[in-house]
Amino acid sequence: AYPFYKEQRAQQPVFPVGSENGYTSWIVTKYDHVKELLKSPSFMKDQSNLYPSSDRGNEAEKVNIFGNMMLDVDPPDHTRLRKLVQPSFNPKTIKQLEPRIREISDGLIEDMKKKEGSVNLVDDYAFPLPIIVISELLGVPAEDRDKFRKWSNTILAASSDSETEFVEDVEAFTTYLTDLFEKRREQPEDDLISQLLQTEEDGEQLSTNELYSMVVLLIIAGHETTVNLIANTMFALFEHPEQLKRVTQDHSLIPSAIEEGLRYYSPVDFSTARWSEADIDFHGNRIKRGDLVLASISSANRDEEKFENADQFDITRRRNAHVAFGFGIHFCLGAPLARLEGKIALEKLFDAFPDMDLNRTEPSPEWRQVFLLRGLDALPVRLSD
Ligand code: HEM
């Protein structure tokens, strides 16, 4: 995909990818354009007022657990929803989780040591770590993580040919949450769900739909992204052994290695959809009211007009102003958490297994074919020489 986007940035940086009922979908590829798009209030999240009913199938109406996610709404609703959870994700609050994240990481490392030298770094480490953390923060039982993984997967991969599975999984997810909310209402705990339930009860700031959507959003975001940050960065390091060696010996390079991992193999390939609020000329393209526009984050992060030697992985890169976490008012809420988890995850790995390497006797890792996300199915690693 990277050479394709390189070509597009040079030839046709904003391009149409299809049209339906007279509306066109566009992809934006250049760094500056991506920022402009994500910052502009003319490209909105809420599409409901843009069409005569039935013109464009309104996916958001299919089920209400997605209908009111902060990621899918504009101000003032967005501002109100984000404010409710922002305090739990501030860098200062997140910092307090550090000892617990270290403990979880240590536990996973101990389990890997029992596996006689060969592990799958995705399943055995990169996946469980962020899941356990977000589960504890929200107050959902971490033992149920396989269910969440399945549901998140189906929801993200939603396509017309898996409609039945989609509907079933959404139902199961909703029922699961209803039961959990019931329990927490009876007996509140010191977790984010109990706190949100309290807000919902007061009625003014959070509706029932919004409550479900919020929890679903946080579970999905917590399940599908940080795993890729950890695994993709490790994969890039295995592809560049001299840099792996350097950062293994000098942990002060870990934060910039994480930022470079985010830029080079961005875990989220595309922004979520924006809808044009008016007929707009966007860098020479006539974008009509109601058209859908997507920002290619991975393309922006390889834009050579912004990043010197953009196709080179360099853990010492300075001024690495990538847009892996998006930009503007929807900038990732979980960025401080993801960065901290990434940092601890790598530190612990390098300490425990300074000689680890890709298990080169196994087939080389492959990217999962999931739209929106860049992640590996598996990352087979041998832990020592
Ligand atoms: C939004 C990426 C981890 C929660 C976003 C957006 C991106 C992103 C690109 C903006 C999407 C858009 O504008 O269309 C990432 C990456 C992560 C990560 C690369 C890990 C490496 C997390 C985690 C959480 C989280 C761990 C929470 C537990 C959210 C939320 C939003 C968001 C709630 C919506 C914010 C809003 O609408 O105001 N993320 N994310 N993310 N992310 Fe993340």
For 4-33, what is the mean pLDDT?
A: 96
Measured in angstroms, how far is the CA atom of residue 331 from the centroid of ligand 1?
7
Which atom of ligand 1 is nearest to 272's Cα?
14
CA distance 105 to 3: 36
CA distance 162 to 170: 12
Residue of 293 and 154 predicted with greater confidence: 293
Nearest CA to ligand 1 atom 2: 325
Q: Is 57 a residue whose pLDDT tops 60?
A: no
Nearest CA to ligand 1 atom 12: 271
CATH number of the domain within which 8 lies: 1.10.630.10
Domain span holding position 86: 2-382
Establish whether residue 334 lines the binding site of ligand 1, counting it when its CB lies within 6 angstroms of any ligand atom.
yes
Establish whether residue 215 lines the binding site of ligand 1, counting it when its CB lies within 6 angstroms of any ligand atom.
no
Establish whether residue 133 lines the binding site of ligand 1, counting it when its CB lies within 6 angstroms of any ligand atom.
no
For 102-121, what is the mean pLDDT?
A: 95
Residue of 145 and 171 predicted with greater confidence: 171
CA distance 261 to 250: 17
Q: What is the pLDDT of residues 68-95, one digit of tens each?
A: 889 999 999 999 999 999 999 999 999 9
Q: Directed axis angle between helix 163-186 and helix 192-202, to 10°?
A: 80
CA distance 296 to 123: 27
| This prediction's pTM | 0.94
Ligand 1 pocket: which of 68, 79, 219, 325 to mutate (most atoms within 8 A of CB): 325
**Interface predicted TM-score of the whole assembly (ipTM), two decimals:** 0.97
Domain count, the chain: 1
Here the tokens at position 109 are 């490392």
Measured in angstroms, how far is the CA atom of residue 117 from the centroid of ligand 1?
34
Q: What is the pLDDT of residues 266-278, one digit of tens each?
A: 999 999 999 999 9
Q: Is 55 a residue whose pLDDT tops 80?
A: no
